[in-house]
Amino acid sequence: MPFLDHDLPPRTENLTTSEKIIRHLRNTFTKGLFVVIPLGITIFILKFLFNFVDGILGPELADIYSTITHHPGYIPGIGMLTGVVVIYLAGLAAGNILGKFFFHWADTVLARIPVVKSVYSSSKQLTQVFKEGRSAYSRAVFVEWPRHGVRAIGFVTAEVILEGELFIVVYVPTMPNPTSGFALYFKPEEVYDCGMTVEDAVKFVVSGGVMVR
């Protein structure tokens, strides 16, 4: 089979210094995203559960923190800037041996903690859709749910035969967290092609419908 241009590794000898810096930043930032996204989703869900159960003490804890640190103020944009720095540093760490060892150890630890392991594992599997284009979903589809006339994005996970009749199992995720949702059974004629790949459909769900292709 003849090699095509896109089969060859990218050439770097003809790149300018600025282009090399941009490529380095882009590649490192991408590595950081694949490390931070599962942790971020896990922390977000655990924080939600904590606030729900322990919401009464939330304001008091915030007052204690302000009293100890003497910094009750907030600088707009500091959170976004800090997040960018953390993602970049995580990408740098994921690119060296020590960082890989640490993240492998962290994966092992998180995979053994009840509740945390289910959230973290699901979040990490989600990132594989963007990183490697692989997924347990065979295709993205439209289904009429939760009522007739309304179409929702779903992912086909299996085909089963119940009482001699074929059904398609479709996972309908919630927005913007696709790790939670509903596994529903539909007849083949009730499942429609949505015209999107699995990767594009996941982006659509995560973005809350903003990223439509």
Mean pLDDT of 138-149: 91
Of 94, 95, 85, nearest to 38 (Cα)?
94
Q: What local confidence, expressed as pLDDT, does residue 176 receive?
A: 66
pLDDT attached to residue 76 = 47
Q: 3-state secondary structure string, 58-74?
A: HHHHHHHHHHHHCCCCC
* Together in a domain, 104 and 197: no
DSSP H or E stretch at residue 30: helix 17-53
pLDDT tens for each residue of 72-120: 654 445 555 666 788 788 888 888 888 888 888 888 888 888 878 777 7
> CA dist 127 to 118, 138, 202, Å?
15, 16, 10
- Does residue 148 lie within any of the structural domains? yes
pLDDT at 145 > cutoff 60? yes
Predicted TM-score (pTM) above 0.75: no
Contact 138, 111 (CB under 8 A): no
Given a cut of 50, whether residue 212 has pLDDT beyond it is yes
Q: How many domains does the chain have?
A: 2
From first CA to last CA, the distance across the chain in angstroms is 32
Confirm if 141 and 194 have CB atoms less than 8 A apart.
yes
Angle between helices 198-206 and 116-131 (to 10 degrees): 130
Question: In this predicted model, what pLDDT tens digit does every residue of 146-176 receive, in sequence order?
Answer: 998 899 999 998 899 998 899 999 999 887 6
Residue 7 pLDDT? 45
Tell me which amino acid residue 50 is.
F
The Cα–Cα gap between 181 and 202 comes to 13
Mean pLDDT score of the chain: 77
| Same domain flag for 112 and 167 | no
Strand partners, 143: 152, 191
Segment among 3-12, 133-142, 160-169, 193-202 with least mean pLDDT: 3-12
112 shares a domain with 157: no
Looking at the structure, tell me whether residues 66 and 145 fall in a common domain: no
In a domain, 212, yes or no: no
Task: Determine the structural domain holding residue 114 and report its residue range.
Answer: 17-131
